[in-house]
């Protein structure tokens, strides 16, 4: 078992609690820290995490990463991608299969707000899942129902007992970053007008994930009826056209997601569906070639396929 530890109150307290539980149950525990190299104090944070792990008698691993912003995803997205890759690499070397993440209820509520503002669908509104698998590692978020206030209280009590104090990342209050802007600008207003809104949005995320699971079941059933090839790279145009408009869109998103492709915008998906409906039943009247990221969606001889 591993814990991703930045040095902040949430991840530090997760490590402290995990250390107690694993010790009681005779399980091995490792701490993992990712050094993003974005701030001058990052070296200090790394050393501070190692100090905590040494105090708890837990092996600690750290890795420095270089951010790739060439794809235009922005620093936040690039840092997240690099962080998951580094955690997976370190965990593999340490023989760790499960990684605990310290995302809490306030983080979840902020994520729901961000997804809403970006126009995410049911899957996106499910926000952060309690369990996910990425790069061969299983990530678990056990604190999605725990508030930031409770964690800060535990961190303060730990400091009074041990003298070890969690670090504070100044970027968390810099609203040039999207999540920080939500935290600094929107959250205080919501706290004043709707106390407890975080719990409400966290509940909304759970309900959205349940709805998304049902939609996935419907999409999987519909896709199976489209006479797909064994590799699922193509399906019958005629059978797709028998579905309702909503289920046509649903199964297309499911198909693209099955192959790890990004979701198209609503406008691009509608344009793709329009072209597919206007094709001859066997696709002989004209070729359809729609570029989508690094692949092309084509139709030939009545089959829709990825190339």
* CATH number of the domain bearing residue 110: 3.40.50.620
| 198 lies in some domain | no
Q: Are residues 290 and 172 in the same domain?
A: no
Q: Are residues 113 and 42 in the same domain?
A: yes
Winning range, highest mean pLDDT, from 28-42, 181-195, 212-226, 274-288: 212-226
Rounded percentage of the chain residues whose pLDDT exceeds 70: 92
Domain boundary among 146, 176, 192: 192
146-171 residue pLDDT tens: 999 999 999 999 999 999 999 887 66
Q: Is residue 17 scored above 90 in pLDDT? A: yes
Q: Are residues 92 and 238 in the same domain?
A: no
| 203 lies in some domain | no
Domain count of the chain?
A: 2
| 294 lies in some domain | yes
Q: Is residue 303 scored above 70 in pLDDT? A: yes
Residues spanned by the domain of 242: 226-306
Mean pLDDT of 177-196: 86
DSSP per-residue letters across the chain: -EEE--SSHHHHHHHHHHHHHHHHHT---EEEEEE---STTHHHHHHHHHHHHHHHT--EEEEE-----TTS-HHHHHHHHHHHHHHHHHHHHHT--EEE----HHHHHHHHHHHHHTT--HHHHT-S-SEEEETTEEEE-TTTTS-HHHHHHHHHHHHHHH-------GGGG-TTSHHHHIIIIIHHHHHHHSTTHHHHHHHHHHHHHHHHHHHHHHHHHHHHTT---TTSSEEEHHHHTTS-HHHHHHHHHHHHHHTTPPPPPHHHHHHHHHHHHHS-TTS-SS-EEEEETTEEEEEETTEEEE-
Domain boundary among 136, 169, 192: 192
| 90 lies in some domain | yes
| 182 lies in some domain | yes
pLDDT bracket for residue 186 (50, 70, 90): confident
Q: Are residues 231 and 82 in the same domain?
A: no
Q: Are residues 79 and 135 in the same domain?
A: yes
193-243 residue pLDDT tens: 999 999 999 999 999 999 999 999 999 999 999 999 999 999 999 999 999
| 206 lies in some domain | no
Q: Are residues 119 and 249 in the same domain?
A: no
């Amino acid at each position: 078992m591993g814990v991703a530890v930045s040095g902040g109150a949430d991840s530090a307290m997760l490590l402290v609690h995990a250390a107690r539980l694993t010790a009681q149950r005779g399980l091995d525990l490792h701490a993992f820290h990712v050094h993003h190299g974005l701030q001058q104090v990052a070296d200090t944070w790394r050393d501070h995490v190692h100090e905590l792990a040494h105090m708890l008698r837990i092996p600690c691993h750290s890795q420095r990463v270089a951010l790739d912003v060439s794809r235009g995803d922005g620093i936040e997205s690039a840092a997240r991608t690099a962080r998951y890759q580094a955690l997976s690499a370190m965990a593999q070397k340490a023989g760790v299969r499960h990684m605990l993440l310290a995302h809490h209820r306030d983080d979840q509520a902020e994520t729901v707000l961000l997804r809403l503002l970006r126009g995410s669908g049911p899957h996106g509104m499910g926000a952060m899942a309690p369990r996910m698998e990425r790069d061969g590692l299983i990530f678990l978020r056990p604190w999605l129902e725990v508030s930031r206030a409770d964690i800060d209280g535990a961190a303060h009590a730990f400091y009074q007992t041990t003298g070890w104090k969690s670090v504070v990342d100044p970027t968390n209050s810099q609203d040039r970053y999207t999540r920080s802007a939500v935290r600094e600008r929107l959250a205080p207003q919501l706290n004043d007008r709707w106390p407890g809104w975080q719990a409400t949005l966290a509940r909304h995320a759970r309900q959205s994930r349940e709805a998304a699971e049902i939609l996935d079941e419907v999409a999987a059933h519909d896709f199976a009826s489209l006479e797909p090839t064994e590799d699922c790279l193509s399906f019958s145009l005629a059978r797709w056209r028998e579905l309702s408009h909503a289920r046509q869109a649903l199964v297309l998103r499911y198909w693209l997601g099955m192959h790890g492709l990004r979701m198209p915008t609503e406008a691009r998906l509608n344009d793709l569906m329009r072209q597919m409906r206007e094709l001859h039943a066997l696709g002989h009247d004209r070729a359809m070639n729609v570029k989508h990221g690094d692949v092309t969606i084509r139709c030939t001889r009545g089959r829709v396929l990825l190339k």
